[in-house]
Structure 1
């Protein structure tokens, strides 16, 4: 009769003895209990679910229908790491990961994993081998130790591959179960703590004025990101149809990102909560309205040189109506800060800045969560060092950030 062993979390090992073998060796499979069952306070639900899994495994083993991927089945039944990766990519990665994540993961696989494990039999890669390899990881260019975030990305990629290999019965045990997740040491934590995450109100005032040295489209782009708390790709994807001058709001429904080949592409927003209207200061919307007149004039002057896809009217573009590549905004921002000698804050840090400004002016976390369109409150909490649309009173303090007002003007 099959029995179960709790492996921790919602994972269980279902075990049965093989009657077809004289020594009756154990045959096991690892299953994951659905979270709604695992988190239930009704113990009976867990017992019933485990009982069904035990019955299924008992039947498979007794009838000899289980899949034995062990060494005794011969090389023809085994897969190398390189053999399995395309299957993982097609069956799991492509349906579940964003194009940008796939692109970055493919780079990790090609530069790190294939050279090290490509020709190894998947079921012969050991936990010790992986642990030693992780401990010795170095920068491929200069040989220096890798930053924890870089190691973490490598860890996530290889763990996902082995998790699915185990889940699909390709390997009997998962060697990644014993490999510790990379974490920052004390020195790295101090360094990360010292990294500037956002600007203060005084710094914002200076930034808004300095942005007049930029081309108008970039000035309005960065100003909008900072006041509206937009993600980089969200604001790049805004079209003229998304602007509501009467209500002083901007509608977010798409984002510009990259596909699995690294090409820029328009895609769905990050989460369901990300889509919606975002209130903006009236002075900023008035500037966008004037900018739109310049935008239409530019399009008319371009005539046949206008290369935008039919029906697309991206608010921010390089002069021919075509969407920007996402990193163009990041690089332009970095150059602006360096040229004007401002302390460096990542472009995404302007989203943190918006949250901090609102918090300093008395906005509660729930409203800030709505404003930033976060799915979880925990995310909002990290950013601030019940109507469907956020109340305009929330952004009232931002009206005072108009750089043309006397208290800011030079």
Structure 2
């Protein structure tokens, strides 16, 4: 497929390509495969998306093929990408995706660790090797994404200012080597000031890291890179390894189940719990492009806190006797 070879593998992340190709093989090709791309009409795509969302089609095992809103949205995104390239390359005269409304996705309330959960989480991480403790505490208190942490090198750490600079993002592995891209968005490429205690942990780990490198000598596989997180040979972690490890930690210590990415949400949640919520400051630390994005994503946390604050006045609720007395109509 020319779209895959000439565009997708060069311009899209490996994870996105994998998802797109999976949906093509399992869902789209069985429906559209016999047709030439120029013969596919808008109404046929609309019917395809509707059938997948309502379960009108069946899977190979005979079960209904109704899929989640998020999966339908991914189908739409994949089709948009493919037909957009076909139109740009003049393979088709008209883009059948024009006029098709993007499927809506019901936002699922995110999971996070509150201040009440934090004691158990830190106690668990204190029992883990220093490298993993630093990795997950960095996600929690720095709001770093998985790929950003995995791509960190010592040249990105400034011990004088307690800053960690986000420069790269490891999005996959190809032929045993990490695929390095820019961070997710332009605003993601920034420096984050970390607590003094965290930077002290990093200093201790740096000493340990240098000893490990010295012991490995010619067997060191880091080449010109100095990745903070590795398996002992200097080579960057496989991009999904931190997720697998995190799941094991949750199970091992019976922690509240949240995704690795939700540690980033937990950082914002903790800041939202403060009495003096400074949304622009939280936005900058989360490296969102605007405070509106921060508010839209995490607004439910501040609303929940507002309800909790209002409930503190419940103790001042008037008694039934007082309410009945005050509501009695005065006779004239």
TM-score scaled to structure 1, two decimals?
0.64
Q: CA 1:94 to 1:305, structure 2 compared with 1: closer, same or farther past 3 Å?
A: closer
Give the counterpart of 1:329 among 233, 242, 246.
242
Q: CA 1:106 to 1:378, structure 2 compared with 1: closer, same or farther past 3 Å?
A: farther
Give the counterpart of 1:265 among 166, 174, 179.
179
1:346 is matched with 259
Matched, 1:157 2:72: no
Matched-pair contact (CA < 8 Å) for 2:173–2:239? no
Structure 2: gaps of 5 or more residues: 53-57, 300-332
Count of matched residue positions in the alignment of Structure 1 and Structure 2: 292
Determine which structure has more spread, i.e. the larger CA radius of gyration: 1
Matched, 1:378 2:292: yes
Structure 1: gaps of 5 or more residues: 1-84, 386-410
TM-aligned CA deviation for residue 89 of structure 1: 4.2
Where relative contact order (Cα < 8 A, 6+ residues apart) is larger, the structure is 2
SS at match of 1:218: helix
More strand per residue: 1 or 2?
Answer: 1
Q: CA 1:265 to 1:160, structure 2 compared with 1: closer, same or farther past 3 Å?
A: closer
Q: CA 1:350 to 1:139, structure 2 compared with 1: closer, same or farther past 3 Å?
A: farther
Q: CA 1:261 to 1:363, structure 2 compared with 1: closer, same or farther past 3 Å?
A: farther
Give the counterpart of 1:253 among 159, 167, 177.
167
Q: CA 1:261 to 1:290, structure 2 compared with 1: closer, same or farther past 3 Å?
A: closer
Q: CA 1:167 to 1:240, structure 2 compared with 1: closer, same or farther past 3 Å?
A: closer
More deviation in 283-292 or 123-132?
123-132
Q: CA 1:128 to 1:376, structure 2 compared with 1: closer, same or farther past 3 Å?
A: same
1:293 is matched with 207
1:134 is matched with 49
1:214 is matched with 128
1:31 is matched with none
Q: CA 1:381 to 1:259, structure 2 compared with 1: closer, same or farther past 3 Å?
A: farther
TM-aligned CA deviation for residue 147 of structure 1: 1.5
2:221 is matched with 307
Matched, 1:278 2:192: yes
Kindly provide the CA deviation profile for residues 265-301 of structure 1, in whole angstroms up to 9, marking residues without a partner as x.
2222223322222100001111111111111112222
Q: CA 1:107 to 1:354, structure 2 compared with 1: closer, same or farther past 3 Å?
A: same
TM-score scaled to structure 2, two decimals?
0.78
Give the counterpart of 1:105 among 3, 10, 20.
20
